[in-house]
Amino acid sequence: DGGITQSPKYLFRKEGQNVTLSCEQNLNHDAMYWYRQDPGQGLRLIYYSQIVNDFQKGDIAEGYSVSREKKESFPLTVTSAQKNPTAFYLCASSISTSTPDTQYFGPGTRLTVL
């Protein structure tokens, strides 16, 4: 079954610790995205990547970092510089970004910083 997986589903960390969220897709999609969702809010774009070894900042990239070493994987690190990291994080992918392709989403990771 093709799809997007995110792990873990729930993540608890102490304040000041870096944490990495996993996102893997087997859809052979070129583009991948990370979004943050806060209660009662829409999705805000953190980072996106069109191809391997390349990525761009989204609207709220401060305090986050990413890598794209493989087409299938786009991990997100929430660093200690992120002032308010508790949120729901969603990963998505699309065939490409050359045209506005539909983005398909993973199940999300809920991060709570204690």
Partner 1 sequence: AQKVTQAQTEISVVEKEDVTLDCVYETRDTTYYLFWYKQPPSGELVFLIRRNSFDEQNEISGRYSWNFQKSTSSFNFTITASQVVDSAVYFCALSEARRGRDDKIIFGKGTRLHILP
Residues 60-89, interacting with partner 1 (CB under 8 A): 88
Per CB under 8 A, 13 contacts partner 1: no
Among 108, 112, 113, 114, binds partner 1 (CB under 8 A): 108
CB 51 within 8 A of CB 32: no
Handedness of CA 11, 28, 34, 87 (dihedral sign): negative
CA–CA separation, 7 and 106 (whole Å): 10
Per CB under 8 A, 48 contacts partner 1: yes
| Residues lying near partner 1 in the complex (CB under 8 A) | 40-43, 45, 48, 50, 56, 58, 88, 90, 92, 97, 99-108, 110
